[in-house]
């Protein structure tokens, strides 16, 4: 019929996800603005913030909009460290963690453009997936 099945799959995924995305106001805003939105769960010290190039150590739990978990440093029993602003992680984390202070726990609602985009990731995260990460900033090394 000449119809690209990948287009049909994307449309079906969109139709499945849109009610979930729209039911979470912060995620809806992130997706509409093609960025990320941070919502604080527990404030940090409000004094100690990372700068680009600092190494941060975090705990995180990553979920899809459906609520199913796809990754967790807590489940692995070890925090995750990376250099902020160096492109070692998705853009939503690179920019989002700059807004955290030590000890803060927050949700990062991440649009696909600030996540894994059209490519998805490792067969785990489908293309064009909005994501939710609960992140706790444990430490900063300047």
Q: Active-site positions?
A: 60, 70-71, 90, 116, 133
Q: How many other C-beta atoms can be found within 10 angstroms of the C-beta atom of residue 28?
A: 19
In this structure, what token pair is assigned to residue 21? Answer: 């995305």
**Torsion over CA: 72, 78, 83, 84 (sign):** positive
φ and ψ at residue 28, rounded to 5 degrees: -60, -45
| CA gap 102, 61 in Å, rounded | 17
Which among 26, 24, 36 is positioned nearest to 93, based on CA atoms?
36
The answer to whether residues 84 and 51 touch, using CB atoms and an 8 Å cutoff, is: yes
């Amino acid at each position: 019929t000449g119809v690209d099945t990948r287009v049909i799959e994307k449309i079906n995924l969109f139709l499945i996800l849109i009610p979930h995305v729209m039911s979470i106001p912060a995620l809806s805003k992130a997706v509409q603005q093609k960025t990320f939105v941070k919502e604080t769960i527990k404030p940090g010290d409000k004094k100690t913030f990372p700068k680009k190039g600092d190494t941060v150590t975090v705990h995180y739990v990553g979920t899809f909009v459906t609520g199913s978990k796809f990754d967790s440093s807590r489940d692995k029993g070890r925090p995750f460290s990376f250099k902020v602003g160096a492109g070692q992680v998705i853009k939503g984390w690179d920019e989002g963690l700059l807004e955290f202070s030590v000890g803060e726990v927050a949700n990062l609602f991440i649009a696909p453009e600030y996540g894994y985009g059209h490519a998805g990731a490792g067969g785990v995260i489908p293309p064009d997936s909005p994501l939710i990460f609960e992140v706790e900033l444990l430490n900063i090394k300047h």
